[in-house]
Amino acid sequence: MTGNREEARPGVAPGAYGSAATMFAALYGELEPHPWRDPNSDRDAYVVFHDRSVAMGWIDETAGGLWGMNDAGCDHPLAAPKIPLAAWFQVEMEPVGGERPMPVQPFLRCAGDVATRLGVLSLQAVQILLPVHGLDASSRPAYAPIPSLLTAEWFGDSDPQSRTPVRVTLDSGQASSLSSAAPHLQEQIDRLDQNVFVCESRSPAEHDPLAIQPPFEGSFWNGPPLHRATFHGTLAEWSLDVLGWLGGFLTDLSAQHGVTTPLLLTASRS
């Protein structure tokens, strides 16, 4: 795990295909800083994310946590000008097995808590690098082959008026495995007992004019973006909590259908 901030640089993932897996999240939209915050304060996105991770028991500084700190920030040298980048976060974690989902939900929840401390976020889109290769699907118990389903009912209490049309794109970069897996993903999303994400259609989009270029180079994740599928549907609500759940859910489904490389998930309101 990379716990020393001086060792981390944006877009660099030590051991990306080794024993540790790298997870990256980019929040797009406007982040209006709180007027009381000192712009020169050393309590930046990295420090606040680290503190929140420690407070919630999510950081793996000794043992038992979910991730190790890598880096974070509000600006990125590789950010595309197409849509404003509000903040980004990068962590590393050991392979996930048993009945635990990939910890995308707490990861995005932590990112959202940081954004709330820094300012007022108007979230337009989220991009997450899902380290599917860091998932040990063979260790899943028979009663929990898709662990995210165990918590789907948490969102059943959401206000029905909060349901939001969304566009969710998965990209497997140079690996073509997503092309064959995508129809099975759509079938399972429709069949499984969950109402968090209702998929209404799927479109293979090898060339996508609406795609957001990720703020890292292709070598970071088996890119560049080449093999993608876009799912159009409805989310229980437009929140980082739901988007994190969706990331863990799609990671499990993808691993079940032969995807063994990182996936780039991009979600935006339709």
Kindly report the pTM of this predicted structure.
0.90
- Nearest 10 degrees: CA dihedral of 51, 55, 60, 62? 100
The residue ranking higher by pLDDT, 20 or 26, is 26
If you search the block for the tokens 């968090």, which residue do you land on?
196
**Sequential DSSP letters for 73-139:** ES--TT--TTS-EEEEEEEEEPPB-TTPPPTHHHHHHHHHHHHHHHEEEEEEEEEEEE-GGGB-GGG
Query: pLDDT tens-digit profile of 47-80?
Result: 999 999 999 999 976 667 899 999 999 999 999 8
Per-residue pLDDT, 206: 56
The answer on pLDDT for 36 being more than 60 is yes
Please tell me the number of Cα atoms within 13 Å of 160 on its side-chain side. Answer: 0
The residue-averaged pLDDT of 110-119 equals 97
Average pLDDT, the chain: 88
CA 110/CA 117 separation, integer angstroms:
11
CA 24/CA 39 separation, integer angstroms:
25
Question: Which regions of the chain does DSSP assign to beta strands (E)?
Answer: 21-33, 68-73, 85-93, 119-130, 164-171, 197-204, 228-235, 263-269
Per-residue pLDDT, 145: 81
The answer on pLDDT for 137 being more than 80 is no
DSSP 67: B
Query: pLDDT tens-digit profile of 245-256?
Result: 999 999 999 998
Query: pLDDT tens-digit profile of 189-206?
Result: 999 999 999 999 998 765
Per-residue pLDDT, 82: 83
CA 186/CA 197 separation, integer angstroms:
11
Contact 163/235 with Cβ under 8 angstroms?
yes
The residue-averaged pLDDT of 212-227 equals 91
The residue-averaged pLDDT of 105-132 equals 97
The answer on pLDDT for 17 being more than 70 is no
Cross-strand partners of 197: 235
Per-residue pLDDT, 173: 93
Contact 42/110 with Cβ under 8 angstroms?
no
- The first and second tokens of residue 104, run together, are 């995308």
